[in-house]
Amino acid sequence: MDYATINGVVQAVNLTKQLAKAAFDGKVDADAKAKIGEVVEKLGDVQDRMFNLRNDLHELQTERDELKTKLDAADAWERRASNYNLTQTLGGAVVYSSKGDPIHYACPSCFNKREIHPLQDNRTVSGKFRCTGCAAEFPVKPKHKVTAVPTTHHWND
């Protein structure tokens, strides 16, 4: 049942109620008046139920629209998330890795909040990358070995 159907029934009930009231106000005997009175009362009940039905329908439609919006958002996220795999990097970090170009890593904490923040290279010897979303750092690359630069002293030159 949709709004148009319910509104149609509400109008039909209103019209019938008016007709019954007109008959009630007309010249009819007491018996008929009692019966018409009953009819008017019953029509009142029907009206109340139709109003409730209309409210229920409105609530259900609102709920359905909200669920559809949530479902669409979930679908969109699933499509985005399917482009990533959980992986362990050479530095030992467990992060999400993109399947397509440009290859990048994504923050697992933000990923769990349905946000994708590509990790940025700190360009330090620690090999850490940072998340621009939550500022967490991950040891993506192995640590660089600091190689001592040989120095030559020529004391006696």
Q: Which residues bind Zn ion (CB under 5 A)?
A: 107, 109-110, 131, 133-134
From the CB of 133, what's the least distance to Zn ion, in Å? 4
Q: In this structure, how many other beta carbons lie within 10 angstroms of the beta carbon of residue 130?
A: 17
From the CB of 142, what's the least distance to Zn ion, in Å? 21
Residue closer to Zn ion (CB basis): 54 or 130: 130
Q: In the beta sheet, which residues pair with residue 95? A: 87
From the CB of 117, what's the least distance to Zn ion, in Å? 5
From the CB of 132, what's the least distance to Zn ion, in Å? 8
Distance of CA 139 to the CA centre of its chain: 33
Residue closer to Zn ion (CB basis): 50 or 140: 140
Residue closer to Zn ion (CB basis): 36 or 111: 111
Residue closer to Zn ion (CB basis): 21 or 118: 118
Task: Tell me the CA distances in angstroms from 71 to 79, 114, 121, 138, one per residue in order.
Answer: 12, 14, 35, 32
Residue closer to Zn ion (CB basis): 91 or 133: 133
Spatial CA neighbour of 119 closest among 145, 142, 94: 94
Sheet with 94-98, edge to edge strand ranges = 84-88, 94-98, 105-106
> CB of 107 within 8 A of CB of 119?
yes
> CB of 138 within 8 A of CB of 131?
yes
From the CB of 111, what's the least distance to Zn ion, in Å? 8
